[in-house]
Structure 1
Amino acid sequence: MKVGKTLIYLFLGILFGIVLSKSEAISWFRIQEMFRFESFHMYGLIGSAVATGAILVQVIKRFNIKDISGQPIVIPDKQKGIWRYLLGGTFFGMGWVLVGGCTAPIFILIGYGQYSMAIVLFFALLGTFIYGKYKQHLPH
């Protein structure tokens, strides 16, 4: 990978971390408020991210946008079936509420000096590894 691309990725990652920090998306208290239905803050944040993502996916599909290496971006259609999404969403949500953060904030919180999140990172990577190893054995 070229140094220029690495710097672009590094800059975008830092920018993403700043946005998540300033929007309080990494706050355990904000996440608990969301799961207790006490505040709209996180729902508004997540809703705006979903809307932005949906718009950008349509732009990528309609205008044949290319990635940073010049290859066309291919976004496959979503697979049919609801159970896989319900099960995956349930596990993700349970982990989110127990830990107080999803994947991106893990790195940000470690950067803020909350080193106990390294345990969460380890198990997130372990879970991803196990899923990748046994994915083909799961029902489609």
Structure 2
Amino acid sequence: MKSLKFILAGILFGIIMSKSEAISWYRMQEMFRFQSFHMYGLMGTAVVLGSIAVFLIKKFYVNDYTGSPIVIQDKDKGFARYMLGGTIFGLGWALTGACPGPMFVNIGHGYFGMLVVIFGALIGTFLYGVFKNKLPH
């Protein structure tokens, strides 16, 4: 029962992603072709809400689900690595039409071809773990 709130949050996330059309491949295509503001508005809203959430977490010293304090560390400045990582992420997003959140929501909608995308994402994550110590951080 302790996990029920997380399951409900995931269901709510899926509903919001679906109703906002953030899982639509056509909306992604419009965004990457600069034909519509829809996805930019959604992402801008997410950035603003995320910034507010991080601010509140820092201000009120919020704890995680185990009771441990959430610590958000400052990141060092490394423009090149963010550009490389963002480029890889963006290419995967453009090729598949989905970033990590919508991949799972699309499966819930019955687009089982996303299982191939999730498998690729898991392989990529595994390979990152294998080569992490050899990569510039």
Question: Scaled by the length of structure 2, what TM-score is found?
Answer: 0.97
Percent of matched pairs sharing the same residue: 58
1:62 and 1:48 mapped to 2: Cα distance? 21
In structure 2, list runs of 5 or more residues that go unmatched: none
Partner secondary structure for residue 48 of structure 2? helix
What RMSD, in angstroms, separates the aligned Cα atoms of the two structures? 0.9
The number of residue pairs the alignment matches comes to 137
* Alignment of structure 1 residues 1-140 onto 2, 5 Å: 3-4=1-2, 6-140=3-137
1:56 and 1:72 mapped to 2: Cα distance? 15
Show CA shifts across 1:29-78 (max 9, x none): 00000000000000000011011111111111122111122111011111
How far off is 1:28 after superposition? 0.3
Letter paired with 1:28: W
Question: Scaled by the length of structure 1, what TM-score is found?
Answer: 0.95
How far off is 1:24 after superposition? 0.2
How far off is 1:133 after superposition? 1.6
In structure 1, list runs of 5 or more residues that go unmatched: none
How far off is 1:79 after superposition? 2.1
1:119 and 1:42 mapped to 2: Cα distance? 24
Partner secondary structure for residue 67 of structure 2? coil
| Segments of 4+ moved more than 3 angstroms | none
